[in-house]
Amino acid sequence: MQQVLNWFFRGATGTVRETAKDRMRTMLVSDRLELPAGRIEMLQEELVAVVSRYFELDGETTKFDLQQFERRAQLIANFPLVRSKC
């Protein structure tokens, strides 16, 4: 019964179509930048290390995201700062 109800009230999220679209976006961003696997994670670690020298970071909410704007990729980094370290 639960399944039937879920089917009735499902929206467009979590569908095969959304999965395909998300995989596609991620794949094309790396394709276009000719980005080797793991490179973004490496950059993230280094940036976190640099910012941490100056600020105490809220590690839980640090966010790192590659997005697409037109045919350009954008790196969105979000470093919530707790306090200065000096």
Partner 1 sequence: MSGRVIVITSGKGGVGKTTASANIGVALANTGASVALVDMDIGLRNLDILMGLENRVVYNLIDVVEERCKLRQALVKDKKLPNLSLLPAAQTRDKTAVNSEQMKVLCNELRELFEFVIIDSPAGIESGFQNAVAGADEAIVITTPEMSAVRDADRIIGLLEARKDEIKEYRLVLNRIRPAMVKNNDMMSVDDVLEILSVKLLGVVPEDEEVITSTNKGEPVSASENVRSGLAFRNIARRLRGEDVPFMDLDPQNSTWFSRIVKFFNPAVRV
Residues of this chain that interact with partner 1 (CB under 8 A) are 8-12, 15-18, 20-21, 23-25, 27-28, 31-32, 68, 70-71
- Cα–Cα distances (Å) from 26 to 15, 20, 47, 56, in that order, read 17, 10, 21, 30
Minimum CB–partner distance for residue 11 and partner 1 (Å): 5
Minimum CB–partner distance for residue 70 and partner 1 (Å): 5
Residue 31 backbone phi and psi in degrees, to 5: -55, -50
Q: Which is nearer to partner 1, 18 or 58 (CB)?
A: 18
Minimum CB–partner distance for residue 76 and partner 1 (Å): 18
Q: Which is nearer to partner 1, 25 or 85 (CB)?
A: 25
Give the whole-angstrom CA distance, residue 51 versus residue 65.
17
